[in-house]
Structure 1
Amino acid sequence: MHLLDFLLPPRCGGCRRVGAWLCERCRASVRRLEEPLCPRCGVELDSNRRECGCRARLPSLTRLRSAVAYEGPAEAAIHRFKYGGWRRLASPLALLLAERLVVEGVAAHWVVAVPLHRDRMRQRGFNQAELLAGELGRRLALERPAGELVRTRPTPPQVGNDRRTRFANVKDAFAWRGPALDGRAILLIDDVATTGATLDACANALGRAGSGPVIGVSVARVNV
């Protein structure tokens, strides 16, 4: 047992019960995304549709995949992880995503996190996507490229914005600083995906730096 777990026992991010960072009951009750899914962006579809029309909206992402719906214990755990400073939740949340990616056969050479702007980083003290990237890389044996993806300007929070505003907020807001990416396939990770606007803007920056396919992944998905 980790010494910190002995002094401060883990408390479930979903229900706050003591014993694990995500208890078995909450792990079992999170809603895994189910087919039919859009083969490109991974959003849940009704049985009458085969695609959602995302191709024009998300030109830079090769695919987008998420593990669970952003509701119930998953929503509670991600909120505590992101805003409450429950950093140890990175491991069980990344496990949910890793399990989904293995089932779907998603593979890449590198993993890259959606960055925070330095001002937001100072406020929060950590980047939740970076913690997830570290855990996912460890579980799937993915390397991190030399260099970094950066957010070049502050962007307003996306919560509550409509689709058009979300895409406008992040247009040209990211850049790659480092060596060319040599056509390597990249997993681009964030905690939650809604429209995919942020992930696609990041994928655009990676593509300009010479990446191969960029597959956006998130722990949770908001169905819009």
Structure 2
Amino acid sequence: MLSGFVDLLLPPRCGGCRRVGSWLCAGCRSRIRHLREPLCRRCGAEVDTPRPDCGCRTRLRSLARLRSAVAYEGPIELAIQRFKYWGWRRLASPLAMLLAERLVVEGLAASSAAAVPLHPERLRARGFNQSELLVRELTASMGLRPPPGRLVRIRATPPQVGHDRLWRQKNVHGAFEWLGPSLAGRSILVVDDVATTGATLEACASALRAAGSGPVIGAAVARVTV
């Protein structure tokens, strides 16, 4: 909580290089690596040749599409770490803008957006959910409506970092639930800061589809290359 208050008082400082003046300076923006075409049409991974899917269909059954704005490296990696772990909450705006720009280019639209939820224990420890901050920015900039309920994490799970694809899938399987009325075919954008294998976003999409949603699009600011 204190870090968020201090964040509001301090002048803008670049999340990539810490230079005072803006939350993401022109120099760091110029060094961001945008994901290069061709991309897998389904999961958004960089591939050698254009194709409908890269073999991801067997593990991404609930997500209609998955897209990330940029590669998780260089200044973006530093900015996301400062946003997520150091409490630089004002970075939500420039990071969400990168994602919004990608979604517009791809022509991906949804009626509502939902954040990947944290377990209450982790939320208390961190003080905020970085994905919720991104959703607030996206909702405002893209004209999305709030969903008629909320996505919750019903089981605490160890961090996904450092584990393989199969472990990640098992770790988050059944970890999320929709609380609220039926989504009645509503298209949903489910948002996270970083995607690696897409397992967390897929588990969220599974819960949303079980609640009657229409197509679910996974969206993350940055993609880790695996």
One-letter amino acid of the counterpart of residue 143, structure 1 = R
Distance apart, 1:109 and its partner CA: 0.2
- Are 1:172 and 1:201, in contact at CA under 8 Å, matched by a contact in 2? yes
Change (3 A) 1:57 1:11: same
- What is the aligned partner in structure 1 of residue 151 from structure 2? 149
The 1-side partners of 2:49 and 2:67 are apart by: 19
One-letter amino acid of the counterpart of residue 64, structure 2 = T
- What is the aligned partner in structure 2 of residue 17 from structure 1? 19
- Are 1:13 and 1:76, in contact at CA under 8 Å, matched by a contact in 2? yes
TM-score by length of 2: 0.95
Please, which runs of 5 or more residues in structure 1 have no aligned partner? Answer: none
CA RMSD of aligned residues (A): 1.4
- What is the aligned partner in structure 1 of residue 187 from structure 2? 185
Residues 153-173 of structure 1: per-residue CA shift (max 9 Å, x gap): 100000001111000000000
TM-score by length of 1: 0.96
- What is the aligned partner in structure 2 of residue 27 from structure 1? 29
The 1-side partners of 2:7 and 2:160 are apart by: 34
The 1-side partners of 2:127 and 2:199 are apart by: 24
Distance apart, 1:33 and its partner CA: 0.7
2:113 to 111, 114, 130: 111
Please, which runs of 5 or more residues in structure 2 have no aligned partner? Answer: 1-5
One-letter amino acid of the counterpart of residue 144, structure 2 = L
Percent of pairs with identical residues? 69
1:128 to 113, 130, 146: 130
- Are 1:45 and 1:51, in contact at CA under 8 Å, matched by a contact in 2? no
* Total equivalences in the alignment: 221
- Are 1:191 and 1:220, in contact at CA under 8 Å, matched by a contact in 2? yes
Aligned positions of 1:72-83 closer than 5 A: 72-83=74-85
Residues 41-81 of structure 1: per-residue CA shift (max 9 Å, x gap): 00001238663100001101000000000000010000000
Change (3 A) 1:7 1:212: closer
One-letter amino acid of the counterpart of residue 182, structure 2 = A
One-letter amino acid of the counterpart of residue 145, structure 2 = E
- What is the aligned partner in structure 2 of residue 41 from structure 1? 43
Distance apart, 1:82 and its partner CA: 0.3
Change (3 A) 1:7 1:151: closer
The 2-side partners of 1:82 and 1:48 are apart by: 33
